[in-house]
A and B are shown apart, each in its own frame.
Chain A
């Protein structure tokens, strides 16, 4: 848990430069091919291309682990997070749907 958390936070610090007119959000992907959770930070200055930078690949493929990890990240940063590949799955602790509906290119 700690090493995954540390790597993600370190890299967020590096890329989250708080530029104005720029949208920053995290993307978490349920990679069913590799059985991993992939973290990205997406950075889009207004009306420009989006940069999608890989933060980390979490090998521990359990939702309960992911939930704890994300809660810990959210204690430090209040990013919005988009989830991909989680349709139909619920968070084990609070039983909410992770991803409400399928995105258009999934």
Chain B
């Protein structure tokens, strides 16, 4: 294989070891690697509690899976510490960590990838800090540990995908928490991975499809005819073939313009909802939330999408598990118009099943530059309606969402008031911006 024309750089993919659990451990003056600690969300839609993060030692001793196990799988052991999540604190820590990374690379070369992972392009700056990329990675680890008390794992590669695989497969089990893959070591490092689903972007479904083609490990994947893969799997076939050879031609600095934006929200309800009014209360609330977020981003929508998933009990009876409908309307960011269409969409499909999940998305967005008037309502009334919403938004941004709520949120079944304080469905923050 001739790699000479592939992009060569020095990329670090840095992740925080059991991020939420480690942050909570340092807040309590404990060592993140030694403590038996789990972060458990006990929001009222988690059915008793959902484990969001587990410290490395707790995983080892109680054989817990990495994330999102249930409260009932957690042993009642007096050594175990259970703590509630604080999403805002984790976001703050993530920003602090990325600021440390920016001391080692230019601002434009640090790319946050998720709440606890970042990609750093060290190509231009690693020589300033050490003799080898490995030594620099070590220095970054020590700096983060010294300043914030957190342990980081670093994957090193000649391109981002090599760094990612080095992190996922090697760094997490390495005593120094470092892993390295280069073009020269691709056959020994990537082809030897026994379990294909361990590789980034290959999950169970893709594995199944590959098995059907007679491909059972990374080596077989790399030695398969790429045209055959493309014919069978499409674009993804090409992509995973490139991954098997450790090839990644991404230029992180390229600005990717999404073809279309959408704004939406989804939620799991705290219990099964049977009553039409209750379900519609939540749908209206979600419509209002989406409308509020549209206004915050100065956008208008002309297409709404509602997805309803039935309760677990209704699902196993062999019927369909829910429905998704979309509907068009004139460009708007108005609470009432959006809620009305959503209610209509819901009533057109719902036949009395108990409901557990709801999702509302708005798409086909345009930037709002002016207010579109229509012929059928007095102009004054339309302007007043617009002003009213602007005032609601302003009051809420100044005094918090709860300062002004629609009365329907106080009805039985409404979830908006409680959810306003959650971030990503867990403790902490404002979700209406």
Chain A interface (Cβ within 8 Å of chain B)? 27, 29-31, 33, 38, 40, 42, 44, 47-54, 84-85, 105-106
Contact = CB atoms under 8 A, between A and B. Distances in A.
B336 to A, nearest CB: 38
Contacts of A54: 27, 83-84, 86
Given A33-B147, A44-B78, A51 B29 contact: no
A40 B77 CA distance: 20
A47 B34 contact: no
Contacts of B148: 33
A29 B29 contact: yes
Contacts of A51: 81-83
A47 B29 CA distance: 24
Nearest to A104: B34
B9 to A, nearest CB: 32
- Secondary structure type dominating chain A contacts: strand
B95 to A, nearest CB: 13
A53 B76 CA distance: 17
22 contacts: A27-B28, A29-B28, A31-B26, A31-B27, A33-B26, A33-B149, A38-B28, A44-B78, A48-B76, A48-B78, A49-B74, A49-B76, A49-B80, A50-B80, A50-B81, A54-B27, A54-B84, A85-B29, A105-B30, A105-B31, A106-B29, A106-B31
Contacts of A33: 26, 147-149
B168 interface: no
Contacts of B82: 49-52
Contacts of B30: 84, 105-106
Interface string B24-62: 001111110011000000000000000000000000000
Nearest to B37: A52
Tell which of B28, B80, B86, B147 has the most Cβ of chain A within 10 Å: B28
A34 B76 CA distance: 32
Interface of B: 26-31, 34-35, 74-78, 80-84, 86, 147-149
Nearest to B27: A38
A44 B77 CA distance: 10
Contacts of B26: 31, 33
Contacts of A50: 78, 80-82
Nearest to A36: B27
Closest 9 CB pairs of A and B: A84-B29, A29-B29, A85-B29, A49-B80, A105-B34, A48-B76, A52-B83, A105-B30, A51-B82
Contacts of A53: 83-84
Nearest to A86: B29
B168 to A, nearest CB: 28
A33 B29 CA distance: 10
B149 A40 contact: no
Contact of B28 (A40, A47, A48, A49): A40
B208 to A, nearest CB: 38
Contacts of B35: 105
Contact of B29 (A31, A42, A48, A49): A31
A35 B98 CA distance: 20
Contacts of A48: 76, 78
A34 to B, nearest CB: 8
B154 to A, nearest CB: 20
